């Protein structure tokens, strides 16, 4: 029997990689896409199928995490074996600007999907994966962070995801739903959204190398993140949903890197090595070769409350799921810079636009 999966957030970075993986595994994949004034299917273009083909394997449904009746109808129509709840207002800094919307989409949106399973009496059929996050750890309580580390959210995003985490645990315990949390540390790729720090850096390094941008403005260079590759993390999501018993797992590399170091790597890979001079908001990055000022700190990117250090311990995932990662942050930076150089070289008009 062909398995049917429903992915919310299918147009995002992880949704695109997960949809690809599930199609390779022979699933019929249904994705929830919200209405946008443009197509917004760029990340899934190569797997997108015309709805008129016979027996399509990827089917998109219009939907929104803030619309309960819509979600119930989609779940009813699809009757999924597995739901992967990846949709979210996922930008931490933006959540300080749109806290109520973030809570609605990320926290109550998760509840709406779990309720859909319950209302439709799919508790024994539909497995549920919740995209939980290392942002739950927030203010450092223990390093490395693992499944038992106490949470201390530091943003409206993290507070909303805290609700999503616990409501998933609660529906597992209260109604016996196979509902699991993946507590994923930062994962990146050439498909990463352009305003997250890694992609912002790799795009800028590529653009500066090609003479199309003068300078990169960043916020807190001291923050440390455990960066892995999104392609490898969606494999972990699938493994979590395949376990006999639902449970919660950390996926991480166990290596942490300063934002400043990621900047150095990206500019090196773009062929313009830089060095940092100065301190605090006066710290600046200069090209080693000709002394050009290429990186500046702009306090507008500082967050009202910051998460200083994330480093995860993926031991449980390795031992119970057999999940491992191959790509470390250094290779990740290179892959992203090379991809951005390629994109910019082949699409000069898009850049100018
Ligand atoms: P993206 O921001 O790339 O993708 C988010 C997806 O959610 C997009 O498809 C977006 O649609 C969709 N979405 C946003 N709001 C709504 C809404 N109201 N209704 C329906 N769809 C909506 O995130 P990632 O792919 O990086 O992350 C996937 C999930 O994993 C998110 O929940 C994120 O919070 C979580 N996470 C991510 C980590 C990471 O490092 N990437 C780490 C830990 C957790 P649109 O394309 O229209 O914007
Ligand atoms: P994060 O990712 O907040 O960890 O959330 P992001 O890449 O936005 O920030 C990482 C760190 O870099 C610092 N930083 C900047 N960040 C951005 N975006 N822009 C800048 O100019 C900049 N300068 C410095 C930040 O302050 C921060 O410390 C991501 C998202 O994918 C979440 O959805 C997910 O849950 C977590 O990862 C795990």
How confident is the model over 243-258, as pLDDT tens digits?
Answer: 999 999 999 999 999 9
Percent with pLDDT over 70 in the chain: 98
Residue 303: asked if its preceding bond is cis (omega within 30°), the reply is: no
Q: How far is CA 209 from CA 167, 195, 265, 300, 337, in A?
A: 47, 19, 14, 25, 10
Token representation of residue 105: 């989409």
Catalytic one of 102, 133, 198, 256: 133
Please state which architecture CATH assigns to domain 4-188+227-251. Answer: 3-Layer(aba) Sandwich (3.40)
CA of 131 to the centre of ligand 1 (A): 9
Q: For 173-192, how does the pLDDT look when each residue is reduced to its tens digit (9 = 90+)?
A: 999 999 999 999 999 999 99
CA distance 88 to 56: 26
Instruction: Give the span between the Cα atoms of 71 and 178, in whole angstroms.
Output: 19
Fold exhibited by the domain 197-224+257-309+327-352? UDP-galactose 4-epimerase; domain 1 (3.90.25)
pLDDT at residue 222 in the model: 98
Residue ID of nearest Cα to ligand 2 atom 12: 197
- ipTM over 0.85 threshold: yes
Looking at residue 110, what is its pLDDT?
A: 99
Distance of alpha carbon 217 from alpha carbon 239, whole angstroms: 39
For the chain, what are the domain ranges?
4-188+227-251, 197-224+257-309+327-352
Residue whose CB lies within 8 A of the most ligand 1 atoms, among 10, 87, 107, for a mutation test: 87
pLDDT at 349: 53
Please name which of 14, 251, 303, 259 lies closest in space to residue 144, comparing C-alpha atoms: 251
Q: What are 179's strand-pairing partners?
A: 128
Instruction: List, run by run, the mean pLDDT of 10-residue segments along the chain (353 residues).
Output: 97 98 98 96 93 91 98 98 99 98 99 98 98 98 98 99 99 98 99 98 98 98 98 99 99 98 98 97 97 98 98 98 98 98 82 47
CA–CA separation, 161 and 198 (whole Å)? 22
Distance from the alpha carbon of residue 305 to the mean position of ligand 2, in angstroms: 12
Please state the pTM of the whole predicted model.
0.98
Nearest-CA residue for ligand 2 atom 1 is 92
pLDDT of residue 50: 84
């Amino acid at each position: 029997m062909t398995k049917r999966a429903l992915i919310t957030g299918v147009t995002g970075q992880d949704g695109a990689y997960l949809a690809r993986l599930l199609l390779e595994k022979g699933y019929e994949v249904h994705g929830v896409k919200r209405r946008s004034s443009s197509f917004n299917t760029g990340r899934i273009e190569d797997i997108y199928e015309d709805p008129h083909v016979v027996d399509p394997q990827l089917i998109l449904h219009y939907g929104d995490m803030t619309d309960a009746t819509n979600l119930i109808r989609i779940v009813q129509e699809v009757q999924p074996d597995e739901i992967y709840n990846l949709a979210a207002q996922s930008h931490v800094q933006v959540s300080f600007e749109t806290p109520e919307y973030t809570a609605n989409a990320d926290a109550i949106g998760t509840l709406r999907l779990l309720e859909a399973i319950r209302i439709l009496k799919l508790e024994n059929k539909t497995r549920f994966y919740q995209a939980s996050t290392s942002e739950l750890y927030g203010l450092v309580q223990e390093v490395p962070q693992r499944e038992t580390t106490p949470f201390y959210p530091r943003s409206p995003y993290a507070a909303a995801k805290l609700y999503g985490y616990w409501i998933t645990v609660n529906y597992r315990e209260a109604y016996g739903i196979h509902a699991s949390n993946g507590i994923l540390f930062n994962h990146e790729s050439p498909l990463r959204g352009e305003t997250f720090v890694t992609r912002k850096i790799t795009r800028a390094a590529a653009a500066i190398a090609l003479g199309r941008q003068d300078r990169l403005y960043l916020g807190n260079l001291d923050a440390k993140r455990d960066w892995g590759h999104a392609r490898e993390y969606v494999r972990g999501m699938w493994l979590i949903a395949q376990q006999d018993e639902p449970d919660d797992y950390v996926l991480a590399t166990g290596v942490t890197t300063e934002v400043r170091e990621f900047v150095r790597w990206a500019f090196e890979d773009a062929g313009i090595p830089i060095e940092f001079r100065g301190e605090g908001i006066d710290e600046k990055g200069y090209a080693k070769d000709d002394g050009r000022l290429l990186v500046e700190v702009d306090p507008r990117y500082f967050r009202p409350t910051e998460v200083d250090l994330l480093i995860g311990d993926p031991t449980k995932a390795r031992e119970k799921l057999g999940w491992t990662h191959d790509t470390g942050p250094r290779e990740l930076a290179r892959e992203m810079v090379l991809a951005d150089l390629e994109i910019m070289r082949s699409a000069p008009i898009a850049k100018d636009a």
